[in-house]
Amino acid sequence: MAEPVAGVGRFKANYAVERKIEPFYKGGKVQLDQTGQHLFCICGTRVNILDVASGAVLRSLEQEDQEDITAFDLSPDDEVLVTASRALLLAQWAWREGSITRLWKAIHTAPVATMAFDPTSTLLATGGCDGAVRVWDVVRHYGTHHFRGSPGVVHLVAFHPDPARLLLFSSAADSTIRAWSLQDQSCLAVMTAHYSAVTSLTFSADGHTMLSSGRDKICVVWDLRSHQATRTVPVFESVEAAVLLPEEPAPELGVKSKRLHFLTAGDQGVLRVWEAASGQCVHTQRQRPGPGQELTRCALARSAGLLLSVTADHNLLLYETCSLQLQKQFAGYSEEVLDVRFLGPEDSHIVVASNSPSLKVFELQTMACQILHGHTDIVLALDVFRKGWLFASCAKDQSICIWKMNKAGKVACVAQGSGHTHSVGTICCSRLKETFLVTGSQDCTVKLWPVPEALLSKGPAPHSGPVLLQAQATQRCHDKHINSVAVAPNDKLLATGSQDRTAKLWALPQCQLLGVFSGHRRGLWCVQFSPMDQVLATASADGTVKLWALQDFSCLKTFEGHDASVLKVAFVSRGTQLLSSGSDGLVKLWTIKNNECVKTLDAHEDKVWGLHCSRLDDRALTGASDSCVILWKDVTEVEQAEEQARREEEVVKQQELDNLLHEKRYLRALGLAISLDRPHTVLTVIQAIQRDPEACEKLGATVLRLRRDQKEALLRFCITWNTNSRHCHEAQAVLGVLLRHEAPEELLAYQGMQASLEALLPYTERHFQRLSRTLQAATFLDFLWHSMKLPPLPAAPALAPSAL
């Protein structure tokens, strides 16, 4: 396929980070505000605040101690956020401004495990790993209650919804629920029904009923007037969260009356709706395929009508409460990113394969996320067909999938195939037309899969389910794992790279061996055809990239520069340059003609497994083991334009400087030279002033009329000049002016004055010592001259007249 004309006639010189997709949730509590517009979640030492509409992280809050956040809660009025860290400190935030309004010690002897606000947003309860429950008045800033008696970690606290009753409920390691009276400062009741950890407490609107859920696979309905269990509902799964639904009919959820219904989320990975009175399940959500779908959290934003659930894969799913229709998906943590690709005819989307059976598709403009389920084990590699609508994936489950994106950006699985006997580690799509794809596996074989005609129709994806793919050809290619396959731009050649340190060239579609590329000292991670020339690039674990001629299989060039394995390589600039990524976390840009590494891009902190370039050759995409996906933009033209503008500006300023010096307008000349931030140019101006007959007066008058920031810059330049005996006189002259005419208080107020003095003193002492020695030598010479007694010179003899 011919490259676009955008990159003709120029080499790339640099890429800059345009966008970075980072983890924002690594497990723990999540919470929606009452409007459903903001999502709060824990990510290590920070609490991240997401804009639900765009998926962007609006603010990241981190306590001064930089310790992990163990608990947080947002007040019911959405005004106050309180966080607790492992350093046993509580921080109260004005979260919209991102500032801490109050910081105090938790007094717990172990980290705070949970916290909750009361309905009035004035009281905060904290449960600690030390078994204590404390209550704080966040308005008046003092502790109000300290309840003891809970064994082990208090992992759950909740206030009664009626603030007049002043009741607090907690649960600890003994699986009981304790009711505390804030008025009497005592434990009212110990409610026993669960045999395992209680995971959630929720209350009915009238405040008379409480629902508790546990990992013992039951939910219990409690009468809070008698503190007795009125109903035990077996739910047949370990429940991580249960919420009471609004007491109104919801036919789509099987809720036909205004009686009490609740929703559970647990290890089966589905949301289920139960009727409390009968204990019957009235609605079950459709099961998603693949592991990692267990639900770990569930939260309800009643006024917004939204329900949030969290999977074990750290995916956040936002539903409409009344119908459980999926509204938004967020990928909180991608673990190790294994491959990335641009999608769409205009590269409007990207697809990410991480250490998970699910794929994540992001729209670059809005960062909206889709989570795709089709594989049952970790997806290892991706590739996209020429037009960008179809792409393929392969996984450890020995299967491959073809996915199709419609014009609305929705992606669905349209074909599946299996046939390999080990995990499928690499995949490549045909280049000319969407006719076939090639896979390579740990079973040392390569398979050729024709793409069914039905998938190429422009209509929507078929509703009957994925089409079954059948392999057309199978070939054993290497003696060890096949790490990479690549199809030539004309679809007639196939290259394979293996752990056996060789790459091989095959003729398609019969898979006939044409030749072997030998020369790497370790296994190969990537092979790639040049888009323009009959050249193959290989990347190896020996830290090198090699270029090979397809005609005679000889090595043309070797690129050395990575300190570790080179994992991916790609051609850019119409085949004249290379991008390579390695396990050292670096991405390098190479110019093929002179073997030069033009630029090293250092933004990842771990192995860069994924590398892909856009159709217009103006952007690149990388994904690494540090869970980050980075979109790079080619800034060569921008930087060249900036450099050209800077040079033109410098020429104009230099001309203006010469004119000012010629006109002896020293003040403006000195100010202009300082603004250029060039010490040598400033030195030239000082020397020009000193050449003036009235140098001393003019230098003093000029320096003293400078602004304070200009004097600070001049002082920094003096430090540089003072290190050289040729220019120390100018430095000392400027220092003399400043020391004689500036008050000591003003000099000490200069930025970095102490460091400047420390740098000036040693060289100044050295210069004075040298001058002292010179003066002593000159005095000795003068003394010697006056002490010398020279004899009178003899008179010249007269010449005889005959000699004239």
Collect all residues with Cβ–Cβ distance below 8 Å to 802 and sequence separation of at least 6: none
Asked if residue 281 lies in contact with residue 270, where contact means CB atoms within 8 angstroms, the answer is no
User: For residue 556, what pLDDT is reported?
Assistant: 95
Mean pLDDT estimate for the chain: 89
pTM score: 0.78
User: For residue 775, what pLDDT is reported?
Assistant: 87
The DSSP letter of residue 138 is T
Asked if residue 264 lies in contact with residue 281, where contact means CB atoms within 8 angstroms, the answer is no
Greatest C-alpha distance within the chain:
157
Asked if residue 326 lies in contact with residue 370, where contact means CB atoms within 8 angstroms, the answer is no
Asked if residue 332 lies in contact with residue 41, where contact means CB atoms within 8 angstroms, the answer is yes
Long-range own/partner contacts, residues 783-790 (CB < 8 A, 24 or more apart)? none
Split at pLDDT 50, 70, 90, the class of 694 is: low
Mean pLDDT on 702-710? 80
User: For residue 803, what pLDDT is reported?
Assistant: 45
Q: 465-522: per-residue pLDDT in tens?
A: 889 999 999 999 999 999 999 999 999 999 999 999 999 999 998 889 999 999 999 9
Least confident of 356-370, 544-558, 670-684: 670-684
The DSSP letter of residue 215 is T
Beta partners for residue 517, in sequence order: 503
- Cα dihedral sign for 351, 410, 1, 400? positive
Mean pLDDT on 122-141? 95
Distance, CA of 221 to CA of 223 (rounded, Å): 7
Distance, CA of 694 to CA of 393 (rounded, Å): 81
Least confident of 218-232, 464-478, 649-663: 649-663
| Cβ neighbours, 10 Å, residue 3 | 19
Least Cα distance to 418 among 370, 466, 384, 476 occurs for 466
State the alpha helices, DSSP H only, in 615-707.
636-662, 666-675, 679-690, 695-704
Least confident of 131-140, 584-593, 662-671, 706-715: 662-671
Q: 313-349: per-residue pLDDT in tens?
A: 898 999 999 899 988 889 888 889 999 999 998 999 9
Q: Is 100 exposed, middle or buried (0-12, 13-18, 19+ CB in 10 A)?
A: middle
Q: 278-303: per-residue pLDDT in tens?
A: 999 999 998 876 666 889 999 998 88
Distance, CA of 392 to CA of 374 (rounded, Å): 11
What single letter denotes the amino acid at residue 141? H
Least Cα distance to 611 among 369, 337, 418 occurs for 337
Asked if residue 438 lies in contact with residue 487, where contact means CB atoms within 8 angstroms, the answer is yes
Mean pLDDT on 743-748? 80
Least Cα distance to 526 among 395, 362, 383, 420 occurs for 383
In the sheet with 555-560, reading across from the earlier edge strand, the strands are 524-529, 535-540, 544-549, 555-560
Beta partners for residue 92, in sequence order: 82, 102
Least confident of 371-385, 388-402, 597-611, 650-664: 650-664
Query: What is the DSSP secondary-structure string of 532-594?
Result: SSSEEEEEETTSEEEEEETTT--EEEEEE--SS-EEEEEEETTTTEEEEEETTSEEEEEETTT
User: For residue 493, what pLDDT is reported?
Assistant: 95
Q: What SS3 class is residue 652? A: helix
Cβ-count burial 405-432 (b if 16+ within 10 Å, e if not): beeebebbbbbbbebbeebbbbbbbbbe
Distance, CA of 501 to CA of 483 (rounded, Å): 11
User: For residue 696, what pLDDT is reported?
Assistant: 62
Q: What percent of the chain has pLDDT over 90?
A: 63
| Cβ neighbours, 10 Å, residue 68 | 17
User: For residue 789, what pLDDT is reported?
Assistant: 62
User: For residue 34, what pLDDT is reported?
Assistant: 92
User: For residue 249, what pLDDT is reported?
Assistant: 84
Query: What is the DSSP secondary-structure string of 605-638?
Result: SS-EEEEEE-TTSSEEEEEETTS-EEEEEE-HHH
Can you list the domains of the chain with their CATH numbers? 204-333 (2.130.10.10), 337-638 (2.130.10.10), 658-751 (no CATH)
- The alpha-carbon radius of gyration of the chain (Å, integer) is 38
User: For residue 804, what pLDDT is reported?
Assistant: 40
User: For residue 793, what pLDDT is reported?
Assistant: 64
